[in-house]
Amino acid sequence: MLELMAWLETSALAEFLRGLGIWTYGLLNLAHIIGISSLFGAVLLLDLKLLGLWPSIPAASLIRPTVPLAALGFVLAAVSGVMMLSFNTTEYHGNPFLYVKLPVIVVGLVNVAIIQRLAAWRRAAAGLPAEPGDARTLAVFGGLSLLIWLTVISCGRMIGYW
Ligand code: HEM
């Protein structure tokens, strides 16, 4: 792990970013926050819907705007996150919050891949009538997603306090 961290810290990207000046880290942090808020704002709406809130709003009407917004937010958070990490990677060596956060992000992406393959999700996204059991399936995955992204945010916030 330490070798990987040292590699990132001494990479051409890290040297380039550190050479840009004192505002760079702050601006990357700002991009990270904008990414996180777009991702989590969208995920929160979608997951609460999957958990059964707002029954009068068709799921497809929420899925359409929230999924691309969450994807865009994730890309921004991931790109800025790796760039921030490259500034002083080895200082995070042994930081349990980072070691929990990164694998949980992978679990979150796997959860997204599974949800999108569910017949219940496909029916909901296409605006088709739900079949028995759909609501429960979607609620389970929506609840799981909420738990995952809350864990990622909590770990991210705590990294700096270790
Ligand atoms: C590959 C993906 C990511 C990497 C490498 C990464 C890395 C980082 C780093 C290095 C920090 C600064 C820690 C510090 O010293 O205080 C940070 C902060 C943070 N990250 Fe990430 N991150 C990633 C994705 C995400 C995602 C997807 C979320 C949320 C859904 C997230 C949530 C946070 C939060 C809440 C903070 C604290 C921001 C602050 O208080 O200023 N991160 N992240």
Q: Where are the domains of the chain?
A: 2-159
**How many whole angstroms separate alpha carbon 74 and alpha carbon 108?**
11
- Out of 4, 36, 47, 87, mutate this one to test ligand 1's pocket (max ligand atoms within 8 Å of CB): namely 36
Cα–Cα dist 98/155, whole Å? 7
- Closest by CA to 104, choosing from 115, 94, 96, is 96
Residues with CB under 6 A from ligand 1: 29, 32, 36, 39-40, 74, 77-78, 81-82, 84-85, 105, 149, 152-153, 156-157, 159-160
CA atoms of 53 and 67, how far apart (whole Å): 17
pTM here is 0.95
Q: Which two tokens stand for residue 135?
A: 């609501």
The per-residue pLDDT for 140 is 98
Residue numbers of the chain with a pLDDT score lower than 70 = none
The string of pLDDT tens digits covering residues 31-78 is: 999 999 999 999 999 999 999 999 999 999 999 999 999 999 999 999
